[in-house]
Amino acid sequence: MEEFAIQFRNVSKIYKLVGKDKKKSEDKKFYALRQVSFQISKGEVVGILGTNGSGKSTLATILAGISEVDEGEMTVNGEQALIAINTGLNNQLTGLENIELKGALLGLRPQRVKEIIDGVAEFSELGEFLYQPVKKYSSGMRSRLGFSINLCLDPDILIIDEALSGDKGFANKCLKRMKELKKENKTIVFISHSLPQVREFCDTALWIEGGEVREYGPVDPVSDHYSEYVEYLNSLSAKEKKEENERKFQKRLILDKRDGFWDKVLSFFQKNL
């Protein structure tokens, strides 16, 4: 029987919508993810595709154990790490202090932390910026630091959320290292808007749209179908795009079942009084 690294069974993530005044919650809830099911084998590299707002980053935080599921069940076999530009770094600390903090939180021995520091310094190529506060970093530098730390921690499962955008030279270096990790049978979940990167690097692809799985399978056909969908969206007028987005949004809403009942009652009295 094939051993799996990640398994999702009808997983849903639900958020409350914030009102227009940003102080009160509306009486509506929203499916960030809805009834998502898939299985990733150990050593597999899966590309996650989807347009903006489709649920990719929500999926990443759940996979990394940062966010909990509201419905369904997730099973992860192995230690996972999320690599994203704005995740897991303390802005007030220096790059070096962030590494030391991560090591302390994981309960690592001082010698192991030193090895990670040396590895991050070499791979990230941040130089003196490693000793500067992260709040002074550019997004590309944050990506370098976060990616390097998680690579040196050597997790079983790497979840990479749009962390290779920007610096092309560093992105190529990361892809090269990730290919080495692939040979080492690491499981990698690769979230990217770059179809060429997904096609080159991944075995399979998971296309999420509107919080739901649209397709899951070999990377080339799924990428082809996703590319066709993006071309279709790009062909729409501004009005048509707005209508398409609104349709997807309405489908993800969770309305109180009582709302429909009281609407009917109100309509009855309006007609008969």
Q: Is pLDDT at 17 greater than 80 in this prediction?
A: no
Q: Is pLDDT at 261 greater than 60 in this prediction?
A: no
What's the mean per-residue pLDDT of the chain?
85
Q: Is pLDDT at 264 greater than 70 in this prediction?
A: no
- Tell me how crowded residue 101 is: count the other CB atoms within 10 A of its CB: 15
Q: Is pLDDT at 20 greater than 70 in this prediction?
A: no
pLDDT per position as a tens digit, 24-49: 555 678 899 999 999 999 999 999 99
Q: What share of the chain is helix, strand, coil (3-state, %, to 5)?
A: 45, 30, 25
Residues forming beta bridges with residue 48, ordered by sequence position:
191, 206
Higher per-residue confidence, 255 vs 166: 255
Distance (Å, rounded) from C-alpha 174 to C-alpha 196?
Answer: 15
Which of the four pLDDT bands, split at 50, 70 and 90, describes residue 19? low
Produce one character per residue of 77-95: b if its CB has 16 or more CB atoms within 10 Å, e if not.
eeebbbbbbebbbeeeebb
Higher per-residue confidence, 97 vs 106: 97
Give me the pLDDT at residue 122, please: 92
Please, are residues 181 and 159 in contact by the beta-carbon 8 Å criterion? no
Which of the four pLDDT bands, split at 50, 70 and 90, describes residue 23? low
- Of 18, 22, 72, 6, the C-alpha closest to 216 is 6
Give me the pLDDT at residue 233, please: 93
Q: Is pLDDT at 103 greater than 80 in this prediction?
A: yes
Which of the four pLDDT bands, split at 50, 70 and 90, describes residue 139? confident
Distance (Å, rounded) from C-alpha 60 to C-alpha 103?
Answer: 22
Please, are residues 43 and 186 in contact by the beta-carbon 8 Å criterion? yes
Give me the pLDDT at residue 69, please: 93
Side chain identity, residue 55? G
Give me the pLDDT at residue 262, please: 45
Higher per-residue confidence, 257 vs 78: 78
Return the percentage of the chain with pLDDT > 70, whole number: 85
